[in-house]
Every structure is written in C-alpha cells, then in structure tokens.
Structure 1
C-alpha cells in the first residue's frame, strides 16, 4: 500500500463505481460497509469538481431479462433494474452537476462488470484527454476490479483509493486476491485522504 506518492492533476478523472441503492445495506445485493464510503467519495468528488476535473459515475443498468439474475439462470439476485429505485444512486451521494454517468450491464447476455464493457467510456475518456483514473466504489472484487483491469489494458494509469472501496468477498479472500491482481497489473493502490484544496 502506498501513501502520499500520488497527487491528482490535470488529465486525471475520478471514476465512481456503482454507488447505487441496491448495493447498500438493505438493498437487493448489499455490499458490506458500502454506505460508509459515501462521505469519503463525496469529498473526493468535491475535490475533483473544484479543479474542474471530470467526475464519472457508473451505474448497473440492467434490463429485467438480464442473464446475471438467478431467475434467468445467473448467479445474482435481481438488482439495479433500469428505472427502479434500487438502480438510483444512493441517498447522500453528492455528484457534481456535470458528472458523466455511464450505464453498464445493459446487454442482457453479458455480466457487464466493467465500466468499459459496451459503454463507450474509452471514447469519452479520450475526448476528455484523460490519462489517469482515480477509482472508488463497489464492489472491489467484481466491478471495481473489472474496470481497473480494463482501464490498464486501455493504456490508462490507475490509482485505486483503498479507503473508498468495499468488496463482497463471496469466497473468503476474494477481495485480497482482487487487490493483488490489480496491483500486479499495474494499478497504484493508495490509502490517501482527500488532498487539501489548492
């Protein structure tokens, strides 16, 4: 774990993964502790917005017939169905007015874990001149991991904010394995607090 070696700069963007109601305690597919991330992520979003650097927020946006749902033969309970309350961003998440919202998991035949899978995010980042992503949200061992690994494959640098992610850990050790995979692939994992406004 690194700390203090990385600082946001021009050409960076904040990528907030799936901070939606269905992933919070009491939701359809709760990620333990996900609600404890809200204030930390809000501080990061405010910092990026204050510098006019892009803030991007993904959301699972599944059709009713999505293949990941157990009722359709998949592994997960029904969650984040398009236009449902559970698919909304969690109460208290303070996104800037110009946030870029990326819908993922729209294709019923694909899990859609990654923010880059059939979303057009790669093109949008190029248009914005983004070279490095600061990543936070849920879940560390699924959508966060998939998004980080795909970003690295696209040639982007990635900083993972370890204090602003939570995992599911369906199998004990999944989160640790995911962190190791991301680090081995080239992600910089930091436990930094939000920098003071400059």
Structure 2
C-alpha cells in the first residue's frame, strides 16, 4: 500500500467565525495534526475563488448550491487554519479557481490525479471540511479514479444544511465503496 493523506479545505472561512463556518470545523485540526506523521504523502486542498465566483450569492440560498462569499484568493478567509501543521514536501491543490465553474472535489479541474499516480499512491485517507460537500466529492472522485479510499469520519465535519446531509453523504460514500473508519484506526490499516 502506498497511502496519501488528503486534508480538504481546512480554511479559516470554513471554521468558526468564517464566512461559511462549519460548526466545530476547527475541532478536527488536532486530530489531523496527529495523523500527519503517519504519512509520507500529504495533500492539502483549498478553495481559492476569484472575487466574482459563480457560487457566490447575496443572499445565499445554500440549497441551490449558492453560498456567501468565501475563500477568496489571497484573503485571510482563504488561508488554512493557523494551527494546521504542514510538512516540507506537502502537495498544495487549489480548486474553484475558474470564476464560471464551482469545484467541490480536489480532483476537479486540478492535477491531483496525475500527482498521486506519479507518486505511486494507490490509497487515500480523506479528512477535512465539509463532509457533505467537498470531502464527499473528493472521496467519490478518488474512487472513480481507481484509488482505494478511506473516510476518517471523526477527522471531518459537515455543513449539514439541510439537516441530514452529513449522514446521507457518509451513506452514499459507503455504498460507493469508501471505507468509513475513525482516525484511531489508521495505523492498523497502514
């Protein structure tokens, strides 16, 4: 097994006080930090939107995939959570950079697939924000691209708007073939 840890969108705007805050989104940071020493390959994705991004709406509708302005490139909101650890050889993926197209998956419109294949990665462990949107889309795209995929459900948090979307997302991922585990089980899998 050649694993990679995927850290999806642990950014200020998705944490408490941010423009599109996920409840307790910052609470997963210590858990992710404990996982980092277990992996040689670590990928960090981040929303990196232009100011005129298509998903922005005022007021946002949420249910129609319109959102408040968030994670605008080169702003504090787009920065990673300040307590999130990085390694020297981390891979950074920026998504949602096209103003006319939204991208929930770290694979969509990026070179992530090519990078992972070039590194010989065959298994990915997904963490981050938000379980019911970007984490789910990334996990399902990783499966479609031939990777074995684990969701570390306690190292993710979801928007859960409307209520039930997190449970539905986990069920959808599980039915598709994503293995659902907790962070404490990673060492037994590696």
Given the two structures, how large is their TM-score scaled by the length of structure 1? 0.89
Given the two structures, how large is their TM-score scaled by the length of structure 2? 0.92
Among 132, 136, 142, the residue aligned to 1:141: 132
Does 2:1 align with 1:14? Answer: no
State the match for 1:67 in structure 2: 54
State the match for 2:180 in structure 1: 189
Please tell me the root mean square deviation across aligned C-alpha atoms, in Å: 1.7
Per-residue deviation, 1:47: 2.0
SS at match of 2:154: strand
Counterpart-to-counterpart distance in 1, 2:187 and 2:122 = 20
Structure 1 window deviating more from structure 2 (23-32 vs 68-77): it is 68-77
Contact 2:49 2:73 in 1 (8 A): yes
State the match for 1:46 in structure 2: 37
Counterpart-to-counterpart distance in 1, 2:180 and 2:83 = 26
Among 116, 119, 142, the residue aligned to 1:125: 116
State the match for 2:27 in structure 1: 36
> Unaligned regions of 5+ residues in structure 2, if any?
none
Equivalence map 1:36-185=2 (5 Å): 36-48=27-39, 53-71=40-58, 75-185=66-176
Counterpart-to-counterpart distance in 2, 1:41 and 1:112 = 23
SS at match of 1:145: helix
SS at match of 1:102: strand
Q: Any idea what the Cα deviations from partners look like across 1:64-112, whole Å, max 9, x if unmatched?
A: 1100000498610000000001101001101112110000011112211
> Unaligned regions of 5+ residues in structure 1, if any?
1-9
Structure 1 window deviating more from structure 2 (68-77 vs 100-109): it is 68-77
Which portions of structure 1, spanning 4 or more consecutive aligned residues, are displaced by more than 6 angstroms?
none
Contact 2:59 2:68 in 1 (8 A): no
Counterpart-to-counterpart distance in 2, 1:170 and 1:192 = 25
SS at match of 2:43: strand
